[in-house]
Chains A and B, each alone.
Chain A
Amino acid sequence: MDNIITVSNLTKQFGSFTAVDHITFAVSRGEIFGFLGANGAGKTTAMRMLCGLSKPTSGSGSVAGYDLRTQGEQIKRHIGYMSQRFSLYEDLTVAENMELYGGIYGLSRREVSDRVDQLLTALQFADHRDDLVGSLPLGWKQKLAFMVATVHRPELVFLDEPTGGVDPITRRQFWDLIRAAAAQGTTIFVTTHYMDEAEYCHRISIMVDGQIRALDTPAVLRARYGADTMEQVFYRLAREAKRGD
């Protein structure tokens, strides 16, 4: 199978504290991969290593075909990233934000303007092209942030709690966008605390105390733990955590 992420025994230590403890997994191309875990379980640290932001203490892996340990800069070029904190510039317009990130990822002026038109049309948002981002409602900002993260057509997009603080209707719309992107072959690596969203993922992993405690499709996990919902599966596993926040 064609894996876009493969890591084996990935570990990150801060002094004597092991934030990520020998995790091994693979994500295949075009998959929506849910990366779950309670706060402090080590999700963010693991994700930072996968994005090329921090170097693993030990273990190895590759992301989008580049080595985690040595080719961080190449990885950055081929992934998209959207953080839990809203990360567009509020005093720039919708189009200016897209143009900026297009420019940062090395798109030509022509490519950028084509891409902006295309994304805004897909969002049915062309009328708001020249609106300041700061004047938009939060739900729209989050959808825009996702579009901006895919402006350079990355093969793989990391979403760090993308729907935090957003209303249920907008969350549903947001997931429509995610599924549309995945249908076009983009791999989605997403963290979330909403268990209904976990159901939308093709496969999910649950991290507890820096280790991956479970990894499979939602249906298989529910069956294995004799649970009706993912929420129950998550409780069962996360309750075993030794360390707190």
Chain B
Amino acid sequence: MNVFASFVRKECIHILRDPRTMLIVLLMPVVLMMLFGFAISTEIKNINVAAVASRYTTDVRRDLTALEHNPYVTFKGMIREGEVDAALRSGRCSAVVLFGRDGKRHIVLDASNSSLSASAAIYLRSILTADASASALPVTTYMRHNPQLKSAYNFVPGVMGLIFILICALMTCVSVVREKESGTMEVLLVSPVRPVYVVLAKMIPYLVLSLFNLATILLLSHYVLEMPVAGNLSVLLILCTLYIVLSLFLGLFVSTLAQSQMVALLICAMVMLVPMMMLSGMMFPVENLPPVLKQLTFIVPARWFNDAIRKVMVEGLGFAAIWKELSILFAMALALFVASIKKFKDRLE
């Protein structure tokens, strides 16, 4: 029987005999996708709007009709000027449109959630200026491509980068250290099995699981979050697979370093997750970071993945545009693989 095959078989049995963990691994991406895609969104689904008007001119009436008929606006009716503050404060509405006597229009917003109110402001303005004049405002043209300011376009690629590195690293980070804890490591070290085989055999079953997760995520993103893949699907799959392999090796590397499963999980969940979120460009654009942090992003795999996947998924670019990111990710994966094997061998002494 082939050494490698029997080792892969053993790793598969470990996974299959632990259905609870497997279920978590398969469901976590779905939950995270939904959380990031829906709950943590800055897009406009529904703005509660009230209005203040002293005179009902044709213009005012036209604007009010536009607000009332807009699917993303719930028109809460007319209020008096003195009630604006109270209405916002009570949360009955999040924005008030004021029609001034001079024909000028003002939007007053509850800015306690700054990003949401900013989007709401832009959106309301686009409604109010939509058919005001034939001369198209720059805002209007921009809005046409993403009239809802869909946050999925921004979040989905970033979330994918996070989900993969988190789940893949968490899956593999316990796999070597578990054998140290149970005592089976000692027997493995005395046996003639080569470290390369051990590391690869531990990766393969998780790669299969992760590819399944990848399919789930892409289907969710396409059908539920309505975020189609603009670029070539095969380019996207190659990029994601490379990134998944890298994340699995990262977990394995942590596992060869750690002395207990608890430590390995903490390293992966706490030490890696937070900087990864901050520095990947998922939440804050890399360009806006202070110089020191900007330098740091160069060693964060999620940053390169984030750059590349935006190009493929949103901008629809091909191989030529992402070869740099691909080769950096490849180099990182290779380095982690070699480091894990080296670290594994070091335990012999």
Contacts and interface: CB of A to CB of B under 8 A. Distances in A.
Contact of A108 (B1, B13, B189, B192): B1
Contacts of B18: 91
Interface string B7-23: 10110011001100000
Interface in B8-67: 9-10, 13-14, 17-18
Interface string B151-192: 000000000000000000000000000000011101111111
A67 interface: no
Given A53-B348, A81-B190, A92-B13, A103 B184 contact: no
B193 to A, nearest CB: 5
Contacts of B14: 89, 91-92
B6 interface: yes
A88 B193 contact: no
A104 interface: yes
A96 B189 CA distance: 19
Contact of B6 (A54, A79, A103): A103
Nearest to A106: B3
Contacts of A34: none
A48 B190 CA distance: 9
A90 interface: yes
Contacts, number: 83
Contacts of A147: none
Interface residues of B, number: 25
B198 to A, nearest CB: 10
Contacts of B182: 85-87, 89-90
A44 to B, nearest CB: 11
Contacts of A54: 348-349
B10 A96 contact: yes
A147 B169 CA distance: 35
A85 B186 contact: yes
B8 to A, nearest CB: 10
Contacts of A88: 184
Interface string A19-62: 00000000000000000000000000000000111110000000
Interface string A189-224: 000000000000000000000000000000000000
A89 B10 contact: yes
B184 A89 contact: yes
Nearest to A76: B192
A83 interface: yes
A90 B348 CA distance: 24
B183 A100 contact: no
A100 B184 CA distance: 12
Nearest to B347: A53
A109 interface: yes
Contact of A102 (B6, B188, B189): B6
Contact of A107 (B1, B5, B183, B186): B1
Contacts of B17: 91-92, 132
Most buried by B among A88, A100, A132: A100
B183 A86 contact: yes
Interface in A102-139: 102-109, 112, 132
Interface string A142-167: 00000001000000001000000000
A140 interface: no
Contacts of B186: 81, 83, 85, 87
B349 to A, nearest CB: 6
Contacts of A176: none
A55 B345 CA distance: 13
A77 B6 CA distance: 16
18 contacts: A53-B189, A77-B192, A83-B183, A87-B182, A91-B17, A91-B18, A96-B10, A96-B13, A99-B6, A100-B9, A102-B1, A103-B1, A103-B3, A103-B5, A103-B6, A106-B3, A107-B1, A132-B17
Interface of A: 51-55, 73, 76-77, 79, 81-83, 85-92, 96, 99-109, 112, 132, 149, 158
Chain A to chain B: the 9 pairs with minimum beta-carbon distance, closest first: A103-B6, A85-B183, A81-B190, A103-B1, A87-B187, A76-B192, A91-B17, A77-B192, A109-B1
